[in-house]
Homo-oligomer: A and B are copies of this chain.
Amino acid sequence: MKKKIKDILKRGAIQVNGSLWIEGNGTHFFGPGPAELLEGIEDTGSINQAARKMNMSYKKAWEIVNRLNDKTVNPVVITAAGGKKGGGSTISEDAKQMIAYHRLLRERFRKFLEQETLRLK
């Protein structure tokens, strides 16, 4: 009879953990960071402000937005050039769908990790 993994490991706060992202042709373009950035843009109407909230550089935020727009059929972040409000950005309906999808994906992943952690108890 083989030993179970839970009898090999010490008792304690042991858990299976991980990270998850979506990639296209090897480029990570979506995950917790980009999802949070999209939510921030929705809330603030500004890539700059959304980035600041996350302690992220404006450059990094733009890279994330460009990678997202590059992998989606229609742009997920729409930036108004100039105008009375001097620009500002909004997210598309598609972006809102992606945020909703990401929440469900994370929930399924959380359950997977929870099940795997239970095996260790």
Contacts and interface: CB of A to CB of B under 8 A. Distances in A.
Contacts of A105: 16, 116
Given A97-B5, A112-B112, A23 B12 contact: no
26 contacts: A3-B97, A5-B97, A7-B73, A8-B72, A8-B73, A8-B74, A8-B76, A8-B98, A9-B24, A9-B71, A9-B72, A10-B24, A10-B72, A12-B71, A13-B25, A14-B22, A16-B21, A16-B22, A17-B20, A17-B21, A17-B23, A17-B28, A18-B20, A18-B21, A19-B19, A22-B120
Interface of A: 2-3, 5, 7-10, 12-26, 28, 71-74, 76, 93-94, 97-98, 101, 105, 108-109, 112, 116, 120
